[in-house]
Amino acid sequence: MKRPIIAGNWKMNNNKAETKELISKIAPLVKDAKCEVVVCVPFTSIETARKAARGTNIQLGAQNVHWAEKGAFTGEISANMLAELKVKYVIVGHSERRQYFGETDETVNLRAKAALNAGMKVIICVGETLEERESGKTAEVVIRQTEKALKDITKQELKRVVIAYEPVWAIGTGKTATAQDADGTIKIIRKVIRKLYGRASGQSIRVQYGGSMNAGNAAELMAMPQIDGGLIGGASLKPEDFAKIVNCAS
């Protein structure tokens, strides 16, 4: 049985004091969760989050990573730096990174490989824009993004990869793909994995839905056979809402 995974993406929110307070509120609400629980916090809050989550079932994640081990990359953070801080998960290829900061399929792949080489797990985000969706290109886009993101990643490394399907048009808009649409697109992603790594890998890889999953729609989405969890944005900043989503996945 695959263990579902709910990961909160805090984005550019919460200073150190707020981080400590939020984790202290979330921890007792999710302590009996059967799913994996992750919070992906800003770089400046990683150390605070690690200490606040100590002794709980909450795992620590970061929101991005650079592909180089070190060098003249002002403002960037390497995988080894994150690993030293006991970060377990890293998000790569989030739609906001692609949309606002020039992320490409190729750099997503480089970042993912760097994190895996440093011993961490990665959450690789894929998803189409509204224009691509309305043009009937959803399948084409997620197939391309998934294939390129996984270039040169081995079958053994794939065990530390989670895919998050997050339609760009649903991020932060309150819009959500229907449960059936999300499930259908994730089925396409699994076909890509089967083609690249074999049937067993296509079944075993965990694929989250990441398009405005919230306390109100989590149960319906999590009931879908292809969906193994959620990459949660705004709702992850609300302890009770986040806990409800975790309970749906449990």
C-alpha 40/C-alpha 23 separation (Å) is 11
Report the SS3 class of residue 169.
Answer: helix
Report the 3 state secondary structure along 69-137.
Answer: CCCCCCCCCEHHHHHHCCCCEEEECCHHHHHHCCCCHHHHHHHHHHHHHCCCEEEEEECCCHHHHHCCC
Q: Is 102 exposed, middle or buried (0-12, 13-18, 19+ CB in 10 A)?
A: exposed
Active centre residues (catalytic): 94, 166
C-alpha 185/C-alpha 111 separation (Å) is 24
Contact between 232 and 7 (Cβ < 8 Å): yes
Provide φ and ψ at 239, rounded to 5°.
-50, -45
Q: Which two tokens stand for residue 16?
A: 């150190």
∠ Cα 152 148 199 (to 5°): 70
Alpha helices in the chain (DSSP H): 16-30, 46-53, 79-84, 95-100, 105-117, 130-134, 138-149, 155-158, 179-197, 199-204, 218-222, 239-249
